[in-house]
Amino acid sequence: MMTSLKAKVPVLLFILLLAGCWEAATNLFDIPHYIFPKLTAVLESIFDNANVLGKHFVVTLGEALLGLAFSVVCGILSAIWIDSSALARNTIYPLIVASQTIPIIALSPIMVMWFGYDLGSKIAVVILFTFFPIAMNTADGFRSADTEIGDLLRTMGAGKRDLFMKWKIPSALPSFFTGLKMAAAISVGGATLGEWLGGESGLGMFTKRAANMLRGDDVFAGVLLLSFMGIALFAAAQALEKTMLGQRRTMKS
């Protein structure tokens, strides 16, 4: 614990330095608040609007988590399907890969047309963002399972179920967590975009409204909180990975 804290000292100092530069530069060059607000003004805005921001924070976090949960379930199921069926591997998998080239942002308004301006469309946009990294990475994880280990278990009498539980799943876990961490980090972006497209609440809606009113400090307050949310979700996924994979994370053979 001590060593991990010690390792973080440089980055914390660097963040403080950047914050200092921000405050100093905005004061020194007298930059208008709608172009680049002072750091102190942003922090002030966070404290002044703590109640409102807190409510919006919870809304956006809820959208991100719901979308993420759906993507985890569907992503894993798709990956299992792709791994277990040669037909799915030859038909679904290439489509999933190719679909990555579709600009998701362009697709997002369709979600509003389908699911309306309520929670549904926000979750749908989050799913658009997070399904692919989870499904792809998990499928790759299944595929990269060491076939020699599978053969060995077969010689010891392992059935289909044994192979899946004791070989495929443990083999795919590291890749799954890679996907989950990516998805956790971008899920906040998905939720924000969903709110931009139309909505009554959430930090995305808050920043958009503040921008329309040229309130730079409020926009930055929202953005800071959104980044914090993204980092927190990523850290949560990482913590989950650490507890699930434990010691073997350090393994590299």
Partner 1 sequence: MSKREKLAEDPQGDALSVQGLHYGFSGEEPLFHDLSFTVKKGEFVSIVATSGMGKTTLFRLLAGLLVPGSGVIAVNGSATAKQNAVGYMPQRDCLMPWRTVQDNAAIGLELQGSSKREARRRVLELLPELGLEGTELKYPHELSGGMRQRVSFLRSLLGGGDLLLLDEPFSALDAMTRTGMQQWLLQVWEKHKKTILFITHDIDEALLLSDRVLVAARRPITELQSVEIELPRPRTYETVLDTRFVALKRALMEQFGRLNHAADAGRESLESIRPASSRSTRVQGGASG
Work out how close the CB of 140 gets to partner 1 at its nearest, in angstroms, rounded to a whole number. 17
Work out how close the CB of 240 gets to partner 1 at its nearest, in angstroms, rounded to a whole number. 16
Nearer CB in complex with partner 1: 46/172: 172
Work out how close the CB of 79 gets to partner 1 at its nearest, in angstroms, rounded to a whole number. 18
Work out how close the CB of 160 gets to partner 1 at its nearest, in angstroms, rounded to a whole number. 12
- How many other CB atoms are found less than 10 A from the CB of residue 113? 9
Residue 178 backbone phi and psi in degrees, to 5: -55, -45
Nearer CB in complex with partner 1: 48/146: 146
Nearer CB in complex with partner 1: 19/165: 165
Nearer CB in complex with partner 1: 113/156: 156
Nearer CB in complex with partner 1: 3/155: 155
CB 94 within 8 A of CB 82: no
Binding site for partner 1 (CB under 8 A): 146, 148-149, 151-158, 162, 166-167, 170-171, 173, 245, 247-248, 250-253
Nearer CB in complex with partner 1: 142/234: 142
Nearer CB in complex with partner 1: 173/223: 173
SS (H, E, C) the chain: CHHHHHHHHHHHHHHHHHHHHHHHHHHHCCCCCCCCCCHHHHHHHHHHCHHHHHHHHHHHHHHHHHHHHHHHHHHHHHHHHHHHCHHHHHHHHHHHHHHCCCCHHHHHHHHHHHHCCCHHHHHHHHHHHHHHHHHHHHHHHHHCCCHHHHHHHHHCCCCHHHHHHHHHHHHHHHHHHHHHHHHHHHHHHHHHHHHHCCCCCCHHHHHHHHHHCCCHHHHHHHHHHHHHHHHHHHHHHHHHHHHHHHHHHHCCC
* Plot region of 32 (φ>0 → left; ψ -120 to 50 → alpha; else → beta): beta
Work out how close the CB of 154 gets to partner 1 at its nearest, in angstroms, rounded to a whole number. 6
